[in-house]
Structure 1
Amino acid sequence: MHELKAMMAGSVWEVYVKVGDKVEEGQDVVILESMKMEIPIASDVSGTVKEVRVSKDDFVNEDDVLVVLE
């Protein structure tokens, strides 16, 4: 199991994956908005989405888990 975490606090702008999706290393899974900038969160491993812990417009803090891969 691998957790993809927020690199900084911000709002969830877009969620590109859902449970069961296959994800490749380097693929964007979530876009955060912080300080009027869009920050893509890319997977650093390939795998299958087991959990999506955020939704559009959620606020997240640094190190919050966004997506869990297996």
Structure 2
Amino acid sequence: MTSTNIEAVTTGKVWKIEVQAGASVQADGVVMILESMKMEIPVQAPVAGVISQILVQEGDIVEEGQTVATLA
């Protein structure tokens, strides 16, 4: 089984994690919300699947392109 990485779309702070490991998500479903320059930016699943890991916590600072979760 291959996994798919979900990456941060911009540098910012993890404001809210919308799903937990084990949750099913649809393609383009919101996994978490980043805050950058007082804007809320959704991080979306690139494909439908089940969240296998959340690699960050609310309040963490992430870099653009950083893997923040994985889909199985």
Q: Would you say same fold, with TM above 0.5? A: yes
- Name stretches of at least 5 consecutive residues in structure 2 with no aligned partner: none
Rounded Cα–Cα distance in structure 2 between residues aligned with 1:8 and 1:58: 13
What corresponds to 1:44 in structure 2? 46
Q: Figure out how many residues of one structure are paired with residues of the other and give that number.
A: 70
Q: TM-score, normalised by structure 1?
A: 0.95
Rounded Cα–Cα distance in structure 2 between residues aligned with 1:65 and 1:21: 18
- Name stretches of at least 5 consecutive residues in structure 1 with no aligned partner: none
Rounded Cα–Cα distance in structure 1 between residues aligned with 2:71 and 2:64: 19
How far off is 1:7 after superposition?
Answer: 1.3
Is 2:57 the partner of 1:32? no
Identical aligned pairs, as a percentage? 36
Task: Give 4+ residue runs of structure 1 displaced > 3 Å after superposition.
Answer: none
Is 2:22 the partner of 1:20? yes
Amino acid at match of 1:25: A
Q: TM-score, normalised by structure 2?
A: 0.93
> Secondary structure in 1 aligned to 2:41?
strand
How far off is 1:26 after superposition?
Answer: 1.4
Amino acid at match of 2:9: M
Q: In angstroms, what is the RMSD of aligned CA positions?
A: 0.7
| 1:6-53 Cα distance to aligned partner (Å, 9 max, x none) | 111100000011111111111100100001100011111000111000
